[in-house]
Structure 1
Amino acid sequence: MGAFLDKPKTEKHSAHGEGNDLRYGLSSMQGWRVEMEDAHTAVVGLPHGLTDWSFFAVYDGHAGSRVANYCSGHLLEHILSGGGGADFGSGSAAAVEGVKDGIRSGFLKIDEYMRSFSDLRQGLDRSGSTAVGVLLSPTHLYFINCGDSRAVLCRGGRVGFSTQDHKPCNPREKERIQNAGGSVMIQRVNGSLAVSRALGDYDYKCVDGKGPTEQLVSPEPEVCVMERAAEGDEFVVLACDGIWDVMTNEELCEFVRSRLQVCEDLEKVCNAVVDTCLHKGSRDNMSVVLVSLPGAPKVTEEALKKEEDLDKYLESRVEELLGRFGDEGVPDLVSVLRSIATETVPNLPPGGGLASKRSVIEAMYNRLNPHREEEGSAGDLEDPW
């Protein structure tokens, strides 16, 4: 179930890119976990002549990072070989089904291939990984999910689609687990694993007489296809459960939309998502990939003005709170945060709330109180609200 550090590791790995009429950004943070087990893939322009296709994915490893890291570098090639490359075609109904078959085949192939690795075969490494991704063709979006990471499409200003988490308590998943001789206890497979589909996890894939998709844990992805809407499609978010533990689909879509109206840098937007989730109380590794489509919101003067007014308001409140000290001395950062949290603050980013401004408040506090005693950053502190 994972062990935790005394304080979070807040350094981020972030990147960005563009091509095929889209832009992307990504960010990941180890957070409170003792190990970083997440990985990701971001490829614009695919081999086998699929130069106008792109692929993005997030992998949430557990019991180690071996499987997640291998999948980040090799799942795409298994998917493309699973579909024969040329079968990915033009967007006709037959071609779409060919792509879906190639994706499923690729997952089963990489899962069987990794089983041959000596450390996994001998039980020296018992890691597994979820996988959530989106394969973009010029005409379609292929959403791919295996586990409890999640993909969300923002279309027309609201959640247009989201993948469904594969949890052991889901009736369909529970039936498969029980048919394979297992049980669901404390919402986990055999009381241990919190996801019912994953790559790796070979301890749960050794039931004699059962095929790979009939085991306690299945490597089969769910693949959902949507035709692209040139004007309505705004962005796709892929994220591990360290993000979804503290934000709903609607909250994350609203928050990302609000950030895109004040910032063109997708890395910074993704960093803001990760920071906000840390401040909302996430204790897990956190990874997010944001794929911005042609219909995404643009920076507006109105949104920039509201953001500027919000920052000025917060600065005035921090300054006022610091100016109130008497015999008790200067209030510490947590006291300042708690005080502001009791107020109605205008123009907070939807979905992110005051947590999305915690780093800003901390920076203001440090600047306005230069003689403070060192007390750790806001990211190191217990949740003040």
Structure 2
Amino acid sequence: MGAFLDKPKTEKHTGHGSGNGLRFGLSSMQGWRVEMEDAHTAVLGIPHGLDNWSFFAVYDGHAGSRVANYCSKHLLEHITGSEDFWGIEKPGTALEPTVEGVKSGIRTGFLKIDEYMRNFSDLRNGMDRSGSTAVAVLLSPEHLYFINCGDSRAVLYRNSQVCFSTQDHKPCNPAKDAIQNAGGSVMIQRVNGSLAVSRALGDYDYKCVDGKGPTEQLVSPEPEVYEIPRCEEDEFVVLACDGIWDVMSNEELCEFVKSRLEIIDDLEKVCNSVVDTCLHKGSRDNMSVVIVCFPNAPKVSEEAVKKDAELDKYLESRVEEIIEKSGEEGIPDLVHVMRNLSVEIIPNLPPGGGLASKRSVIEAVYSRLNPHRDEEGSAGDLEDPW
């Protein structure tokens, strides 16, 4: 289940890039967890001649980071290195893989890397019991291939709405039937009362049932693959682990991303804003997000920038008023200030993010007015009222 720290680790691992008509940004934060077990992949231009293809993925490790880290470096090569991917014996000799070939190659790649990692001595002898989810998008010039194994999630924002989402693999029907057929059980919505996903890479303690194939074990490494033709209305794709989705719905996150893209064109900063907001919304897990923007992604709007600046000024003035009203009682702590703001109707708060997305603005003015404050009520406080 994971242990927690006394205070969240808020340092971020970030990145960004562009190519193949795409822009991407990424950000990850350890948060309240004792260890950072997430990993990611961002590749513009794929080996074997697929220079105009791209691949992005998020891996949410559990019981350790071994499997997530290995997959982040090698999953793509297991996919594109398979004969199934190309539909021929020698990878890279075909002009372009077919849709069915790509889908078959993705499945084969997952099964192969899962079997390959099983032979690592620390995983084989039980010294390391780690596993990982994997959610990814493979982009060709004509297609989007969404790939999911576990409860991380990918969404496609097209024509100003969420038009596609992967489905989380949880230990409930129909997965419950497969788990029971393998001799296991589902208790407290977990495999054998312990593991919260029905599909994952690694987790070999759940993949040792005699007489059952790799996809018939208590936990399956087989991904679901969805192929969607690309179109001009595509705006962006979001990949994220459940540390993000635990506190934001598909629509909330996409609307928040859209609103931030209208304020700033720095995707790395947009991703940082997502992670910070989810921390302030109460996420206690590791958090990782990758945003991939298409040419039709929202652009910076002067009107949106102006409204956001006005909102920041309004919040600054309200914090000043709340502190001034305290008078002889002394400066209230930050949690008290936020509790006051949370019950107000504040116009133009970012959709999906709400007041939590403006925590840094509130903290900045509070710190300026109370430079000697202690750490009570600092960023990520579990007692946040919102």
Describe the SS at the equivalent of 2:380. helix
Deviations 1:22-79 (A, max 9, x none): 0000000000000000000000000000000000000000000000000000000000
How does 1:41-56 map onto structure 2 within 5 Å? Answer: 41-56=41-56
Describe the SS at the equivalent of 2:193. coil
Distance of 1:110 and 1:149 partners within structure 2: 19
Residue 134 of structure 2 corresponds to 131
Amino acid paired to 2:159: G
Give the C-alpha shift of residue 325 in structure 1: 1.9
Residue 186 of structure 1 corresponds to 188
Give the C-alpha shift of residue 224 in structure 1: 0.1
Give the C-alpha shift of residue 364 in structure 1: 1.2
Distance of 1:180 and 1:192 partners within structure 2: 16
How does 1:331-346 map onto structure 2 within 5 Å? Answer: 331-346=332-347
Amino acid paired to 1:339: N
Amino acid paired to 2:210: D
Residue 5 of structure 2 corresponds to 5
Describe the SS at the equivalent of 1:235. strand
Distance of 2:286 and 2:168 partners within structure 1: 17
Residue 15 of structure 1 corresponds to 15
Residue 67 of structure 2 corresponds to 67
Residue 292 of structure 1 corresponds to 293
Distance of 1:88 and 1:184 partners within structure 2: 45
Residue 220 of structure 1 corresponds to 222
How does 1:337-356 map onto structure 2 within 5 Å? Answer: 337-356=338-357
8 A Cα contact 1:130 1:148, kept in partner:
yes
1:28 and 2:28 matched: yes
Give the C-alpha shift of residue 322 in structure 1: 1.3
Residue 313 of structure 1 corresponds to 314
Amino acid paired to 1:49: G
8 A Cα contact 2:201 2:221, kept in partner:
yes
8 A Cα contact 1:88 1:96, kept in partner:
no
Give the C-alpha shift of residue 328 in structure 1: 1.2
Aligned pairs, how many? 380
How does 1:190-269 map onto structure 2 within 5 Å? Answer: 190-230=192-232, 232-269=233-270
Deviations 1:85-107 (A, max 9, x none): 4487547xxx0000000000000
Distance of 2:208 and 2:171 partners within structure 1: 18
Describe the SS at the equivalent of 2:174. helix
Distance of 1:88 and 1:337 partners within structure 2: 59
Deviations 1:255-282 (A, max 9, x none): 0000000010000000000000000000
Deviations 1:98-119 (A, max 9, x none): 0000000000000000000000
Task: List runs of 5+ in structure 1 lacking aligned partners.
Answer: none
Q: Which moved more, 1:336-345 or 1:80-89?
A: 80-89
Describe the SS at the equivalent of 1:223. strand
Give the C-alpha shift of residue 372 in structure 1: 3.5
Amino acid paired to 1:206: C
Deviations 1:118-147 (A, max 9, x none): 000000000000000000000000000000
Deviations 1:227-284 (A, max 9, x none): 0012x10000000000000000000000000000001000000000000000000000
CA RMSD of aligned residues (A): 1.2
8 A Cα contact 2:322 2:337, kept in partner:
yes
Percent identity between the aligned chains? 79
8 A Cα contact 2:149 2:199, kept in partner:
yes
Distance of 1:97 and 1:260 partners within structure 2: 35
Deviations 1:347-372 (A, max 9, x none): 00000000000111001111233344
Structure 1 residues 80 and 286, CA, compared in 2 at 3 Å: closer, same or farther? same
Distance of 2:325 and 2:332 partners within structure 1: 9
Deviations 1:148-198 (A, max 9, x none): 0000000011101000000001x2211111111111111000111000000
Distance of 1:152 and 1:88 partners within structure 2: 30
8 A Cα contact 1:87 1:99, kept in partner:
no
TM-score normalised according to structure 1 size: 0.97
8 A Cα contact 1:154 1:234, kept in partner:
yes
Describe the SS at the equivalent of 2:218. coil
Structure 1 residues 257 and 87, CA, compared in 2 at 3 Å: closer, same or farther? farther
Distance of 2:94 and 2:125 partners within structure 1: 37
Give the C-alpha shift of residue 326 in structure 1: 2.2
Describe the SS at the equivalent of 2:51. coil
Which residue among 138, 160, 165 is the counterpart of 1:162?
165
Amino acid paired to 1:141: L
Distance of 1:223 and 1:86 partners within structure 2: 22
Q: Which moved more, 1:196-205 or 1:317-326?
A: 317-326
Which runs of 4 or more aligned residues in structure 1 lie more than 2 Å from their structure 2 counterparts after TM superposition? Answer: 84-91, 368-382
8 A Cα contact 1:139 1:227, kept in partner:
yes
